[in-house]
Amino acid sequence: MGVHGVKAVFFDLDNTLVDTAAAGRRAIEEVVSALQSKHHYGEGEARVICDKVQAKLLKECHDPAKMCITDLRISHWEEAIQETIGGEANRNLAAECYFLWKTTRLQHLTLAEDTRGMLTELRKGVRLLLLTNGDKQTQREKIEACACQPYFDAIVVGGEQKEEKPAPSIFHYCCDLLGVQPAECVMVGDSLDTDIQGGLNAGLKATVWLNKAMTTPVDTSPVPHYIISSVLDLPAVLQKMEHKINAKLGTDHMASSNEAH
């Protein structure tokens, strides 16, 4: 990217580099199927249980000092089953559902071939860092499952740090790891609240919002510098940034030459 351009790119993981949402949907279907075939639940009941679990995951507040993520998530399933069916709490069935969901989700988390190719090419010119929020155990399992370690110079998991995205501290920690300045870095991610807001908070050179639907709300806030519909569009954005920088350098050079005369 050149001395004056971008020196590092930070990537989010979930729903940016890997399709966690799609893997999650496949996992839910496996659990629905198992609840019906093995435990003789009706499809409606099975789906209500899964819907309740997904709602609990969205609102999840996890303190690793108090409870490990496995126990917490088994409890989500236990509560969902009891809320739907009534009767005694069934911890064994809850654990079975959780491990089936988790295993299936991890099986379907893949780093696509074209994404691997893009990362390999990018890394020839810039340093790459994976920056993901979330529980240490959960995120490390996903990183392992999609085998993305070889494509990055560093991997930072929010759950292992004092603060997660969008706090500036985690971005500055990433910059220190790579030996670069915030103004030399670009953040790429699908979340306006964490990835884009965080990049802006930390004073990064640019933020790139991955919006697969490309249906931008009228009042998008915060405002990203660039919007792409596929992570594969990123090299074109970086090229555009490089052209802008080179054009500005050319103008500055001409201005200083004129001043010299």
Task: State the SS3 of the chain.
Answer: CCCCCCCEEEECCECCCECHHHHHHHHHHHHHHHHHHCCCCCHHHHHHHHHHHHHHHHCCCCCCCCCCHHHHHHHHHHHHHHHHHCCCCCHHHHHHHHHHHHHHHHHCCCCCHHHHHHHHHHCCCCEEEEEECCCHHHHHHHHHHHCCHHHCCEEEEHHHCCCCCCCHHHHHHHHHHHCCCHHHEEEEECCHHHHHHHHHHCCCCEEEEECCCCCCCCCCCCCCCEEECCHHHHHHHHHHHHHHHHHHHHHHHHHHHHHHC
- What number does CATH give the domain 8-19+110-260? 3.40.50.1000
Q: In this structure, which topology does domain 20-107 adopt according to CATH? A: Four Helix Bundle (Hemerythrin (Met), subunit A) (1.20.120)
Q: What is the pLDDT of residue 243?
A: 81
pLDDT 10s digits, 74-127: 999 999 999 999 999 999 999 999 999 999 999 999 999 999 999 999 999 999
**Pair of tokens at residue 12:** 């989010």
Domain boundaries, the chain: 8-19+110-260, 20-107
Counting as low any pLDDT under 70, the low residues of the chain are 1-4, 216-218, 245, 248-261
pTM exceeds 0.85, yes or no: yes
Non-local (6+) Cβ contacts of 192 within 8 A are 209, 220, 221, 222, 224
Q: How confident is the model at residue 216, as a pLDDT?
A: 66
Q: What is the pLDDT of residue 1?
A: 45
Q: Do 101 and 30 form a contact (C-beta atoms < 8 A)?
A: yes
* Amino acid 220: pLDDT: 75
| pLDDT tens-digit series, residues 152-168 | 999 999 999 999 999 99
The β-bridge relationship of strands 185-189 and 154-157 is unpaired
